[in-house]
Structure formats: structure tokens, C-alpha cells
Structure 1
Amino acid sequence: MGSALHAEETEMQADHPYVGLWVTEDGHIRHELLPNGRYVEARGTRERAYEGRYEVTGDHIEYWDDTGFTADGDFVDGILHHAGMILYRR
């Protein structure tokens, strides 16, 4: 039953309006929110610096990195505020 619920949540993420690429103004940090509920974060020349899963509830995002690190952020007026950074939709 638990896996069916997770699959349903992942399917819901696929249609979420926040799926896509989010980038800091200088282009150094890049978050790609994938439709399968996974994300890839690039930092500078490190294209896959961090990877993990994410969930969006309303305008709030929670990240669970594959290494065990957790983080969160909020979408405000079409801008992602995450860990002291501001990322813009690309």
C-alpha cells in the first residue's frame, strides 16, 4: 500500500507547474526538478553535485538528497527561495 501511495505522489509531481529548471542569477546553482519527483543540482562545473527526491506542497518544496541531507524552500511570486539562495525559472 505504501508504494502505491508513493507512486501516486510521484505521478502528481509530473504535472506540477514547478517542474523544470531553476537557476541563480549568476548561473552557478542550477536545480532541475524532474517530473518523476527527483531533482539534480548542479554547482558551477559540477553538473551532478547533488541528486535526490523532492515533494512540493502548495508553494513549499522539501528536498531529500541521496546522501541523507535535507533542505526546503518556498516559491514566492514565481521565484524559488532555497537555503538563502534565489533561483529563477529558466
Structure 2
Amino acid sequence: MNSNGDKRENEKPHPYVGMWVTADGLIRQELLRNGRYDEARGSRISAYTGSYTVKGDHIDYIDDTGFTADGEFREDVLYHGGMIFYRQK
């Protein structure tokens, strides 16, 4: 546990941490190591922010307004909200 009481910071991150983007690059979702996400849409930076949890290949989101969503990772592709995200390298 770190000095802020967040034990996740010292844990090894899951393999899906990082930036995920749609093929056209318009939607960019960064899964942060601390269990938060930041999603940009077009020129709108931080259009959606919130927390997420990953169990296996399933991801659950809760944005800062209380809206919930989920998705699945399959073969290093994220399927979420009717969209397909690819890992940004």
C-alpha cells in the first residue's frame, strides 16, 4: 500500500493497461494503471472519465457520472459499447 492508501499502485498492472483507439482514431481510451480511465472523442479531451475493473478478459466501467458499461478483450482487441478498439503501439 502506498502513502495514499492505494495498494493498486504497487501491484503489477493487468496486461490491458494502456491506450486503446478505434480504427479511425476518433475515440481514444486510456486504461490507467490505477484503475481509472480517460476517454477522448475527436477533439474533446477527457470526454469521459471514471474507473474500471478487469476480471479475466472482461472489463466493467463506471464513469464519474454513475453511468456503467462493460466490454470484452478478444485477441488483443477491445469490444466495448458497439465499438472496436485496438491497442495503440
- The answer, yes or no, to whether TM exceeds 0.5 is yes
The TM-score by the shorter chain falls in which range?
0.7 to 0.9
- Select the structure that is richer in helix: 1
Among all aligned residue pairs of Structure 1 and Structure 2, give the percentage whose two residues are the same amino acid.
63
Q: How does 1:31-46 map to 2 (within 5 A)?
A: 31-46=29-44
Which residue, out of 19, 22, 25, partners 1:24? 22
What TM-score does the superposition give when structure 1 sets the normalisation length? Answer: 0.86
C-alpha distance in 2 between matches for 1:22 and 1:64 = 17
**Residue in 2 that maps onto 1:87:** 85
Unaligned runs of 5+ in 1: 1-6
**Residue in 2 that maps onto 1:58:** 56
C-alpha distance in 2 between matches for 1:39 and 1:15 = 14
CA offset at residue 15 of structure 1?
1.4
Question: After the TM superposition, which segments of 4 or more aligned residues of structure 1 sit over 3 Å from their partners?
Answer: 10-14
Deviations 1:11-55 (A, max 9, x none): 487511100000000001110000000000000000110000000
